[in-house]
Amino acid sequence: MATDSLSANPPGYTQLLAGLSLISNDSISWLRFWHNLISLLGAGGLLWIFLRSGGEASVLLILPTILSTYYIKQSCVISTDNVALTAVGIGMAILALKGPSLFWNLIAGILSIWAIYTRQISVWVILPLGIAMFLESRKEGQRRIVIVLGLTILGCLALLSSFYSAWDGLVPMRFKEVQAVPSLSGIVYGLSLVALLAPFFFDRNVLFPTKQQKRKAFFPCLAGILVFLAAPSSWSYEEGRWGGILWLLAKKGPLFFDRSIIFLPLTSLGALFTYQIFLKVKEKDLGKAMIWGGGVVGWLATSIPNGQVFHRYFESPILLFLGIAASMVSQTTRLLKFKITILCGLFLITGIFVLYFTDNAFPSGPILKIGTK
């Protein structure tokens, strides 16, 4: 592993593409072809695991993830985003949706290790893996599953240790000044996106508290406000807070001590919606709720060490978490189908706009001309 890599991520995906280039060649056209194919296979894997877990209704709920603007965009640009997202996404879906099975937990473990080897920020998966191992350890006859999950966690930690040994940190030297600026801005942005996207997946009776729940619902709202106050949320190109509609609104909107006012209600609502979704999943299965909640908390926590808050870091993972939770609690009503269809349509329209009008952002040329260079 290079001590000062030109990439901020581990070499897993680079090594995979290098191996595939031995079959073809290392031209940009072939590398794009392999990347497009891997993104397509990853999307197919997510669709398949949701189909196996919850039928056609669950497939509907994962469509926004694979049709999202940034999944499509990152399918066209050679990067580690999609391969890590689909690997950790399938693993998380197995833990949250599938029943206890040695085979499926083994698959989840392999994909989790692979996700970290391609993108170290996928380390958040260790938390739901640990929760799943704890839950299985309390059952009789699940010793082999516990061993598999334990070995998976050790493998993930061994990878992180190797990164730290090679880089004297979790990113190569050249990226430390850029990325290693701890901030809660990522949590503010993530919760704000939850506030905007959750209504497409859940009905009002899921997202808002009942009369009996209103007192407890005050606390996640307060937590959201405190996070908003604790972190800068103004638009800043230099500090990595740009890209996406929310940052555009933040740039145009009013500020309060380097805090964009638009994030105040969104962060509070996002915290409330996350809490309410957890409660709804808990009604169905406490263990699954713990795994899902652990994944959300772990993922949000991984945004803290990196001060860069790009929209593409947040959109697809949030859609994945919402899709997993909705597949456990939402009924496939006409209204839900309509809302998901609208969301997918918005993503496709935005995706086409991005692909046609942001070509100059990529030095390799227009990204729609995949395989032609």
pLDDT digits (tens, 9 = 90+) for 68-95: 988 988 888 888 999 999 999 999 999 9
How far apart, in Å, are the Cα atoms of 216 and each of 74, 104, 183, 211?
40, 36, 27, 10
pLDDT of 352 over the 80 cut:
no
pLDDT of 344 over the 50 cut:
yes
CB-CB neighbours of 329 under 10 Å: 20
pLDDT tens per residue across span 269-290: 999 999 999 999 999 999 999 9
Residue 361 has what pLDDT?
41
CA distance 23 to 170: 32
Which whole number is the average pLDDT over 32-40?
Answer: 93
pLDDT of 370 over the 50 cut:
no
Which whole number is the average pLDDT over 21-34?
Answer: 89
pLDDT of 362 over the 80 cut:
no
Q: Which two tokens stand for residue 357?
A: 């009008």
Average per-residue pLDDT in the chain? 88
CA distance 321 to 319: 6
How far apart, in Å, are the Cα atoms of 360 and each of 79, 130, 211, 365?
17, 43, 53, 7
How far apart, in Å, are the Cα atoms of 185 and each of 17, 230, 310?
34, 8, 10
CA distance 279 to 220: 12
Looking at per-residue confidence, does 244 or 324 come out higher? 324
pLDDT tens per residue across span 147-160: 999 999 999 999 99
* pLDDT band for position 180 (cuts 50, 70, 90): low
Closest CA relative to residue 105, chosen from 95, 115, 113: 95
CA distance 46 to 65: 9
- Assess contact for 102 and 144: CB atoms under 8 A: yes
- Assess contact for 33 and 371: CB atoms under 8 A: yes
Full-model pTM: 0.92
**Beta strand 255-256 with 259-260: parallel, antiparallel or unpaired?**
antiparallel
CA distance 31 to 65: 24
* Contact residues for 105 (Cβ-Cβ < 8 A; gap 6+): 94, 95, 132, 145, 148, 149
pLDDT of 369 over the 50 cut:
no
Looking at per-residue confidence, does 234 or 306 come out higher? 234
* pLDDT band for position 307 (cuts 50, 70, 90): confident
